[in-house]
Amino acid sequence: MNIQVDEILDAKGLACPMPIVKTKKAMTNLEAGQVIEVQATDKGSTTDMKAWAESTGHQYLGTVEEAGVLTHYLRKASDAETKQETKHEDVEQLLDLQSKIEAGENLTILDVREPAEFAFGHIPNAINIPLGDLEERMKELDKDNELHVICRTGNRSDLAAQKLTEKGFPNVKNVIPGMSTWEGPTDKNN
């Protein structure tokens, strides 16, 4: 799996609690929203990373194990994400979206999470353009289609929906809450 990250931390060969301590340090140098890859050989590090993310509010994306190396992916949370402040008016409930998909409707789903988040599970056929790249990649999208914008909890997709509306997309829906509670089928990788 080829996953784009902002920072790579080599914690291979280190025993508990060093992978966590090093991750904590590396995380302070990241901007909110950035993704870090932590390479570790400590077998307990997967459960520790999950617990640590739970404690600190950062987002644990997933782990890939290959040749004895555990590669963990984490995303730094921002304060804004924990606050719910939805402004885009046209919202769509996640369950309604799921029913439409199950009914076989042909929808355009735009997933604005980071590629690393997208790689670990997304709605089949969703298009991935991270929020930060939306401005310049907007032209890849067809204005005639109804756009269903989704992220993890509904905040980034809200910002994306506002931005798209502002740029003249007539039919944009912000799907809430988002992939964090999605129970339908998912695809992995890109």
Partner 1 sequence: MANTKVAIIAANGSLFDAYKVFNVATAAAASDAEVGIFFTFEGLNLIHKEAHKNLPLPEGKEHFEEGFKQANVPSIEELVGIAQELNIKIIACQMTMDVMNLEKEAFIDGIEVGGAASFIEYAKDANITLSF
Q: Which of residues 39-78 bind partner 1 (CB under 8 A)?
A: 48, 51-52, 55-57
Residue 185, preceding bond cis, omega within 30 degrees? no
Taking the complex as a whole, the smallest distance from the CB of residue 153 to partner 1 amounts, in Å, to: 19
Q: What's the CA gap between 58 and 56, in Å, rounded?
A: 6
Query: CB of residue 95 vs partner 1: minimum separation in angstroms?
Result: 33
* 16: annotated active-site residue: yes
* Residue owning tokens 């409707």: 105
What DSSP letter does each residue of 73-142 carry, written as one string? EEE---HHHHS-----S-EEEHHHHHHHHHTT---EEEE-S-HHHHHT-B-TT-EE--GGGHHHHGGGS-
Under the criterion CB under 8 A, does residue 20 sit at the interface with partner 1?
Answer: yes
Choose the catalytic residue: 16, 21, 32, 95.
Answer: 16
Binding of partner 1 by 17 (CB under 8 A): yes
Judged by beta carbon, residue 42 or residue 111, the one nearer partner 1 is 42
Q: Looking at 1, 8, 21, 32, which residue binds partner 1 (CB under 8 A)?
A: 21
Separation of first and last alpha carbons in the chain: 8
Among 14, 30, 91, 138, the residue binding partner 1 under the rule CB under 8 A is 14
Stretch that binds partner 1, among 15-23, 30-38, 72-80, 168-176 (CB under 8 A): 15-23
> What residues are annotated to the active site?
16
